[in-house]
Amino acid sequence: MQVDLLAGTGYRPLALPRPQPTILVFDSGLGGLTVLSRTTELCADAHIVYAADDAGFPYGRLSEDALVARVLAVMERLIARFHPDLVVIACNTASTLVLPALRARFAIPFIGTVPAIKPAAAATRSGMITVLATPGTVARVYTRELIENYAAACEVTLIGSTKLAGLAEKALKGEPVDDEALLAEIAPCFSEKDGQRTDVVTLSCTHYPLLLERMRRLAPWPVEWIDPAPAIARRVSQLLGPSGRLPCPDATAVFTSGQNLSGPLRIALAGYGLARIATEPMPLVN
């Protein structure tokens, strides 16, 4: 028989803090760090594993079949090794395609990152919005459906950049990236028509916010740049529920190429709280 020790005292039992969850944040490369930083702000007590499939980078160039197979294979390994309670696919190129297959294969929750077309349509005043993404994300049926469902009344420009994710990686690694190269990638985002011009650009690749300050400076006119990372972090935090534990200092970054990381990259990762580096070598077989 269970005895209720609080019966008749007027006290209600306090909700116990949740056990420390492990969150796996996944991307093809370093772009998912923009989602990781917002997630750690809201879920400071979680054990974070950041996984970059750098052997497969960039995902934007892979065929849809190859990408589904690749993400499932890498996820299989990562889940077996780190036993996450929740996975954030911090990659639009993967999320717009692979989420149904991941959810069918694994029994843990997956939170994806998809183009913020609904918020862009809500924010525009001119009715002209641009989706800046990888060529893969731009080509997805999923992206086209988001536009049909949420931005049918807008003039939507889809820009698939082949170089921007790579430039963001270079910048984070402390390698030089010149303004002209950056401007060439973002210039097509800005359109003018019938006296109106683009006023919202949705950053639909998680790498791009790494270059946000420079893109703001180089833009031909000011626009609202939408970074979906804060919304994703809020969703993660909602799913995990209230914390109540001390911050977890123990975050790990894992890379699939197995290559040595440069000094500047190690310093950049430490700035994101990722002082422990691991490898899970998985060469991309074409």
The residues annotated with a catalytic role in the active site are 91, 205
> Applying CB under 6 A, which part among 89-97, 116-124, 239-247, 267-275 lies near ligand DGL?
89-97
* Distance in angstroms (rounded) separating the CA atoms of residues 242 and 244: 6
Residue 36 or 223: the one with the smaller Cβ distance to ligand DGL is 36
Site for ligand DGL (CB under 6 A): which residue of 39, 40, 93, 257? 93
Structure tokens at 132: 């800046």
Q: What is the dihedral of CA 199, 203, 209, 210, to 10 degrees?
A: -120
Site residues for ligand DGL, window 116-175 (CB under 6 A)? Answer: 134, 137, 165
Query: Please, what's the largest Cα pairwise distance for the chain?
Result: 77
Asked if 40 is part of the footprint of ligand DGL (rule: CB under 6 A), the reply reads no
Residues in the chain: 286
E strands within the chain?
22-27, 47-52, 86-89, 110-112, 128-133, 155-160, 192-193, 196-197, 200-203, 224-226, 252-255, 276-279
* Distance in angstroms (rounded) separating the CA atoms of residues 259 and 253: 13
Site for ligand DGL (CB under 6 A): which residue of 143, 206, 252, 256? 206
CB of 132 to ligand DGL, least distance (A): 11
Cβ distance 247 to 241 under 8 Å?
no
> Applying CB under 6 A, which part among 57-65, 79-87, 180-188, 209-217 lies near ligand DGL?
57-65
Asked if 27 is part of the footprint of ligand DGL (rule: CB under 6 A), the reply reads yes
CB of 114 to ligand DGL, least distance (A): 9
Residue 165 or 167: the one with the smaller Cβ distance to ligand DGL is 165
State the residues that interact with ligand DGL by CB under 6 A. Answer: 27-29, 31, 57-60, 91-93, 134, 137, 165, 205-207
